[in-house]
Amino acid sequence: MAGSIINSNTVIGDFTIINTKASIDHDCVMSKFSSLAPNVTTGGNVTIGEYSALSISATIKHGVSIGRHTVIGAGALLMKNCGDNLIMYGVPAKEIKNVE
């Protein structure tokens, strides 16, 4: 969408959305059906698993991996890798719920 940025060497899977003003940096992987809400920012070398959703204004530190079917909540700052089927939010983001 308008104002979004995709940096070098990043791979964008099918059926994804990079919403308004979202930025995904270099060498990232956005797996199929994952999404970036408006104003999400990722550092480089970030991996986003299938079906995972990064909510509005979430920030992901460089080098972090996110599992499948995981939601990173609005305004979260994710500093560490996280697994599948989780709701994570806060600054820094913590596991709030496992929704398996």
Ligand X SMILES: CC(C)(COP(=O)(O)OP(=O)(O)OC[C@H]1O[C@@H](n2cnc3c(N)ncnc32)[C@H](O)[C@@H]1OP(=O)(O)O)[C@@H](O)C(=O)NCCC(=O)NCCS
Interface residues with ligand X (CB under 6 A)? 19, 37-38, 55-56, 71, 73-76, 87, 89-90
Strands 86-89 and 94-98, sheet pairing = antiparallel
Q: How far is the CB of 87 from ligand X (least distance, A)?
A: 5
Task: Please give the residue whose beta carbon sits closest to ligand X in the complex.
Answer: 73
Q: Which is nearer to ligand X, 31 or 89 (CB)?
A: 89
- According to the 3-state scheme, what is the secondary structure of 57-86? CCEECCCCEECCCCEECCCCEECCCECCCE
Answer for the pair 61, 78: CB distance below 8 angstroms, yes or no.
yes
Comparing CB distances to ligand X, the nearer of 51 and 89 is: 89
Residue 26 or residue 87: which is nearer to ligand X going by CB?
A: 87
Minimum distance from residue 63 beta carbon to ligand X (Å)? 22
In this complex, which beta carbon is closest to ligand X, that of residue 31 or of residue 55? Answer: 55
Residue 20 burial by Cβ neighbours in a 10 Å radius (0-12, 13-18, 19+): middle
